[in-house]
Amino acid sequence: MRKKTERALPVVVIGAGMAGARLAARVPGATVVGEERHAPYNRVLLADVLAGRYAPDVIALPATEVRRGVRAVRIDRADRLVHCDDGSVLHYGRLVLATGSNPVLPPLRGLGDTLPDGVHPFRTLDDALALRAAVRPGVRAVVIGGGLLGVSAARALAECGAQVVLAQQGEHLMERQLDPEAAALLRVHLEALGVEVHTECRVRGLRCTTATTTESVRAVELADGYELAADLTVLACGVRPRTGLALAAGLDVRKGIVVDDELRTSDPYIHALGDCAEHRSTLYGLAGPALEQADVLAEVLAGRPARYEGTRALTRLTLRSPDPLHALDLAAFGEARPLPGDDVVRLADATRGAYRTVVVREGRLAGGVLLGDLGAVSGLARTWQDDEPLPPAMSLLHLLIDDGGH
């Protein structure tokens, strides 16, 4: 009798981001609870919304029934209940945590629990729309953080006519994905569009002015005492998995919610996926792995054998522009920084604005970066994802031709 009751109870998904929406589309009858007021959307395209290329409805995902604007506040594992902030209580047979991640708000002087006017994170559709409403030609904008999100935001703001400064604490842009040479080319591209780039630049605080009871940002203070004038400040300092619900429910949490190869947490009736999930000590924080996890979990919930064994994730960034000459495609995978003993091949074509590099370690493709011309990316990505030894007769140069060595 108990097993029949469990089957009758629905799958409940907490979180209506890309991972939660993908799962719900594959699990008939799933109930999805989402905090955001919008229908599920493609987060990868937020910079296009900020730049004004896409309206919000264009980036919407295929229709999924979601209880919008509802936040889950407590999980009762004993009775398998989810309590929500609107007073509703949901019974579950299986619960899926797809709670995503929050933007990291750096410990800056002048940045409290309430953000001053003009200071924006860049993580959600509401963030993109708020920035879109605030930006105008000539406005002074400082983007703090030179990773994937910061570069995308800076490029979009420049396209809107803002005077943009990009402040990156590390040695070069997109340190997690790019080698120094590719990062230098990306910097040249941004600077050609009017973005002022500062690397090895540590931000100390924000200088705000107060009118009545409202604080507004006026400048970003650097550690060396220099100030960057700012009407808008964008915080693109990374993300942190949202694990509060899981922690309060007593689930095993390290950096993220710990899951096994069936995306199952320490409670056999609760799963997790996407940005909030830690699988084999890895947090991915990318759309590709989240969607792959959703596909595996849909099979698991249907009672079919399936296992998630990790994702060899390709990072791809397209910096679009109304002028095709000012667009830029970028792809990175694996380890682009060589270790002693690795073989490296680089090809650069200044005329076409193209750059390619691959790293080969112990006869296998360890990683690579392509910027500008991505003709070889599919073949290279397949070679890397297969993780098979390269044929002895294959030259390293052959890896970089358009067919990727296939």
Secondary structure E strands in 301-390: 314-319, 328-334, 343-349, 354-361, 364-371
As a whole-number percent, the residues of the chain with pLDDT over 90 amount to 63
Average pLDDT rounded to a whole number, residues 373-377? 76
Which DSSP string do the residues of 141-155 spell out, in sequence order? Answer: EEEE--SHHHHHHHH
pLDDT for the residue 2: 41
CB-based burial of residue 104 (10 Å sphere; 0-12 exposed, 13-18 middle, 19+ buried)? middle
pLDDT for the residue 113: 76
Instruction: Encode pLDDT of 40-59 as tens digits.
Output: 999 999 999 999 999 999 99
Q: Tell me how crowded residue 161 is: count the other CB atoms within 10 A of its CB.
A: 13
DSSP 132: H
pLDDT for the residue 325: 60
pLDDT for the residue 321: 63
Instruction: Encode pLDDT of 87-96 as tens digits.
Output: 999 999 999 9
Instruction: Encode pLDDT of 58-77 as tens digits.
Output: 999 987 789 999 999 999 99
Average pLDDT rounded to a whole number, residues 29-39? 94
Average pLDDT rounded to a whole number, residues 154-183? 93
pLDDT-derived band at 181, boundaries 50, 70, 90: confident
- Residue 18 DSSP SS3: helix
Tokens 């604490």 identify what position? 169
Secondary structure E strands in 223-334: 227-229, 232-235, 239-241, 257-259, 270-272, 277-279, 314-319, 328-334
DSSP 397: H
Cα end-to-end span (Å), the chain:
56
Helix runs in 16-61, H state only:
18-26, 46-51
Average pLDDT rounded to a whole number, residues 277-291? 94
Can you give the pTM of this predicted structure?
A: 0.89
Answer yes or no: are the C-beta atoms of 355 and 182 closer than 8 Å: yes
pLDDT for the residue 61: 92
pLDDT for the residue 404: 44
Q: Which residue has the higher pLDDT, 251 or 344?
A: 251
Q: Which residue has the higher pLDDT, 322 or 371?
A: 371
φ, ψ for residue 41, nearest 5 deg: -140, 165
Residue 281 has pLDDT above 70, yes or no: yes
Residue 1 has pLDDT above 60, yes or no: no
CB-based burial of residue 120 (10 Å sphere; 0-12 exposed, 13-18 middle, 19+ buried)? buried
Q: Tell me how crowded residue 250 is: count the other CB atoms within 10 A of its CB.
A: 11
Average pLDDT rounded to a whole number, residues 347-376? 83
DSSP 388: P
Instruction: Encode pLDDT of 206-251 as tens digits.
Output: 998 876 667 888 999 999 989 999 999 999 999 999 999 999 999 9
pLDDT-derived band at 38, boundaries 50, 70, 90: very high
Of 258, 45, 267, the C-alpha closest to 153 is: 45
Average of per-residue pLDDT values in the chain? 89
pLDDT for the residue 211: 66
